[in-house]
Chains A and B, each alone.
Chain A
């Protein structure tokens, strides 16, 4: 009894249940993805699934297309979001706090509902669904994730740095490119990661926005993984996605801003 008390009073041990839980439900499942990717349906080791992927032109094409769409979407979000974040972070701008909140609010509404609403809006305006609608919908869904981190870094930035640049002879344009942009890069990285990762792995949005005419990699994985005899192949596709994710998060590694946690 005493021993139990001693263990409990050392607060370090209080994290053990959580660590155990995470090992079981986070680490183990991720390992399983790898295991399934290297086994066949009967559980024997095989690399045939990978061979299949590299000869499966549809999968590769879908994969490349998905990455392309994600890159496009990230770029559009950056192009639209950066100016918005910049304007809001301006010191002399009047109502930044409320504005920033308004931009972040849609993030908290079910993204499927927002997507359906977008589809309905397109229908109502008589616009065709397709690639354009897909890009619009993705951008619409993920724009807040781009604006928020950029806004955060810009707002924390010391305004006297901009003044110093102007004082040294930089006009607004020069001080923007030589001081503000380099200093806001951490926010930009984190925004890129936060937009790119969900876009590249998205599966439901594309279906709804294009009436299933365009298939993204996420939907492909979904199709295979839910089909019992193709589960192992689905695991291979998931592994490919996982690698992309790992690479991307490595890219955005140099910032520690909590993602959604910091948004309220």
Chain B
């Protein structure tokens, strides 16, 4: 009798075990399927981006506004006839007038540097150039670019879509992605087929269990797809910059082979001088502003915490004003203040402005730590003979430290990120931070190539900081 009972127990145990593994397997299957699914989506999404091989013309607008064709890629197009029309229009903001477009037609034979196209049209000021490119009487390219006469970056590239000749050139990229897509699809299909085959060996009860589990998950497929698509759109521009930081072409979207040259330039100071000083200023301003904001904000938080309810409300309201105010209002109001006070605008004013909008966030990150603290420790320290300064240093700071740190980091990122306030308070002395540099750079019609690696590095740093803070927060929550 004991034997039979025992074997019953055993069989029950193994049954439970097999169920357990079945569920784990199902989970793994779902994970694998999700990865394959995302992979396919990405292939679909990225293929058109890379499938176009660009026919690129590098043109130079000279000091007098003359246009010169420097180079054309790829060389295999040599000998092909392309019509290019350049439309220009003087564009002065103040006058609000737009000159009539002038058409400059010329035929371009792709044979490397071409003579005979110098001195086509002379610009006098900032201008907008519109390229219209025909081939065989069909318009294939219509692009507007901004040019500044005499600017170092007037060499710019106009690129054409691969409607010209797809198969001949960069078709291989397309094939690679198509291949990847095919592999992904085959893997996915194979996996489904394989797991369905496996399922046939299960008992009917287990099959029913799997079916019910899957029923719950299928509901999410649509939602998952939505989120992933949204993320892809959200990250497409970012990914674009990150990807093209590994090639040295001047224009984004023109892949001229893998290269770390831009990174090297960035770190050896071979990048544009304006960019170098912008990075330098950004770091200095961020550090100064964040430090001041942390000190000021921590003191303020301690003060606010110990205030009576009514005055606390008033100060909290005051604290929230810079957070609610959009950049432009903060910037303009400070600009007016500096004008009224007759202060010359420069590094100092920018730092003050940054402290203004950073401090409220420091206050907000220190306050919760204070409310978690035992309110009597400070008094206890005073009671034991510490001066207020000592009590602050020895009793309060160790407790407030994490809040101050996250406030400091927050202030740093806000300061680095800021454009609006800096723009209005930097004055006209040539002070540029990264943001304002990007702005003026972009207005000129292109992005300094070294910004791409810089951006990629910032992205990675941000990612690391965010992950670090998240991990720390979740650990604290566990406690």
Q: Residues of A at under 8 Å CB distance from B?
A: 5, 8-19, 21-22, 25-30, 32-33, 36, 80, 83-84, 87-88, 90, 92-94, 97, 99, 101-106, 108-121, 123-126, 128-129, 140, 143, 197-198, 200-204, 207-208, 211-212, 218, 221-223, 225, 227, 231, 234-235, 238, 241-242, 245, 249, 258-261, 264
Given contacts A108-B417, A201-B327, 15 further A-B contacts (CB under 8 A): A12-B306, A18-B359, A19-B300, A22-B322, A25-B334, A25-B355, A93-B223, A94-B220, A117-B241, A208-B443, A222-B328, A225-B332, A225-B335, A241-B326, A241-B329
**A36 to chain B: closest CB distance in Å?**
6
B326 touches A198 (CB 8 A): yes
- Scan B410-448; emit 1 where CB is below 8 A from any A CB, else 0: 100110110110011000000000110011001100010
- Scan B313-357; emit 1 where CB is below 8 A from any A CB, else 0: 001001101111111111011111101100000000000110110
Residues of B within 8 A of A26 (CB): 318, 321-322, 333, 356
Q: 18 A–B contact pairs at CB < 8 A?
A: A22-B319, A25-B334, A26-B321, A30-B333, A36-B336, A88-B227, A99-B227, A102-B235, A103-B230, A105-B463, A108-B462, A124-B252, A201-B326, A201-B329, A212-B146, A222-B423, A238-B333, A264-B473
Residues of B within 8 A of A202 (CB): 328
State the majority secondary structure of interface residues on A.
Answer: helix
Q: Which of B111-119, B261-269, B451-459 contacts A (4 or more CB under 8 A)?
A: B451-459
Closest to B144 in A: A211
Identify which of A13, A16, A87 contacts B226 (C-beta below 8 A).
A87
Expressed in whole angstroms, the Cα–Cα distance for A222 and B406 within the complex equals 33
A80 touches B230 (CB 8 A): yes
Residues of B within 8 A of A90 (CB): 220, 223
B315 touches A19 (CB 8 A): yes
B240 touches A117 (CB 8 A): yes
Expressed in whole angstroms, the Cα–Cα distance for A242 and B442 within the complex equals 28
A16 touches B303 (CB 8 A): yes
Identify which of B230, B329, B352, B389 contacts A245 (C-beta below 8 A).
B329
B237 touches A112 (CB 8 A): no
Closest to A6 in B: B388
Residues of B within 8 A of A22 (CB): 318-319, 321-322, 356, 359
B223 touches A242 (CB 8 A): no
Expressed in whole angstroms, the Cα–Cα distance for A200 and B329 within the complex equals 11
- B307 contacts A by Cβ under 8 Å: yes
Residues of A within 8 A of B442 (CB): 112, 115-116, 119, 208
Answer whether A108 and B236 are a contact pair too, CB < 8 Å, given A19-B315, A84-B227, A221-B332. Answer: no
State the majority secondary structure of interface residues on B.
Answer: helix
Expressed in whole angstroms, the Cα–Cα distance for A113 and B321 within the complex equals 27
**A192 to chain B: closest CB distance in Å?**
14
Residues of A within 8 A of B462 (CB): 105, 108-109
Answer whether A218 and B227 are a contact pair too, CB < 8 Å, given A5-B388, A260-B414. Answer: no
- Scan B456-473; emit 1 where CB is below 8 A from any A CB, else 0: 001100110011011001
Residues of A within 8 A of B323 (CB): 259-260
Identify which of A19, A115, A225 contacts B424 (C-beta below 8 A).
A225
B435 touches A103 (CB 8 A): no
B144 touches A93 (CB 8 A): no
A110 touches B356 (CB 8 A): no
A120 touches B447 (CB 8 A): yes
B419 touches A112 (CB 8 A): yes
- B25 contacts A by Cβ under 8 Å: no
Residues of B within 8 A of A126 (CB): 141, 161
A113 touches B451 (CB 8 A): yes
Expressed in whole angstroms, the Cα–Cα distance for A27 and B332 within the complex equals 13
Answer whether A110 and B414 are a contact pair too, CB < 8 Å, given A116-B442, A117-B237. Answer: no
Residues of A within 8 A of B470 (CB): 97, 101, 264
- B384 contacts A by Cβ under 8 Å: no
Residues of B within 8 A of A225 (CB): 332, 335, 424
**B22 to chain A: closest CB distance in Å?**
19
